[in-house]
Amino acid sequence: MRFPFRRILKTGFGARLRRMITAVAVMALVLLVCGPAARALDLDIDHAPVEVYFSPNDGATEAIVREIDRSRSEILIQAYSFTSAPIAKALLKAHRRGVKVQAILDKSQKTQKYSSFSFLTNSGIPTYIDAKHAIAHNKIIIIDRAVLITGSFNFTKAAEEKNAENLLIIRSKELAKPYLENWQRHREHSAA
């Protein structure tokens, strides 16, 4: 007696089986291509306080400025698009009160007309360009190695007023740590 494999593949169960096989094949391919760099982090952040913002006009920029104003020792930024005057001014204010501020920006920021690249650089804030990647698409701020700001929210006026974006503020040293390590890896190949 032959196993009715073709008949099973035509049923609802067969469709689920095909999707599972495809998913397993894709995961195997990702592991093969990416190797050890494709790793999941198993972090316990169940009790980490999280604030969530959605744009337009939900106060994401104001929340970022508030967190920058609360900083005490260090602010590390990775930004794809950074043209927000309020965020840039808050960083300068933090820098002037002795907070160590550093930024890594996408290469497009070096030539963009209204980018904060020139403002930060001219203010004495170490600012680096990550040109290693097609796009350095991060939107991350790490404050005092304990507060992580991330999400799709670009640090721009358009992100606050026009775009549909999201922002998370997470208070977790454990979660900030791998983001800090990632920031440092990108800093190593970025140019001043």
Contacts of 162 (CB under 8 A, 6+ apart): 56
Q: Name the active-site residue from 93, 110, 137, 157.
A: 137
R_g over Cα of the chain: 21
132 catalytically annotated: no
Phi, psi of 57 (to 5 degrees): 55, 45
| Cα–Cα dist 170/188, whole Å | 25
User: Is residue 103 a contact partner of residue 95, using CB atoms and an 8 Å limit?
Assistant: no
189 catalytically annotated: no
What the block records as the tokens of 134 is 């097609």
- DSSP letters along 154-169, please? -BSHHHHHTS-EEEEE
SS3 label, residue 190: coil
Q: Name the active-site residue from 89, 110, 144, 186.
A: 144
Q: Name the active-site residue from 95, 106, 130, 139.
A: 139
139 catalytically annotated: yes
Within its chain, how far is the Cα of 63 from the centroid?
Answer: 16
**Which residue is associated with the tokens 């093969």?**
32
The DSSP bridge pattern shows strands 165-171 and 74-79 to be unpaired
Residues with catalytic annotation? 137, 139, 144
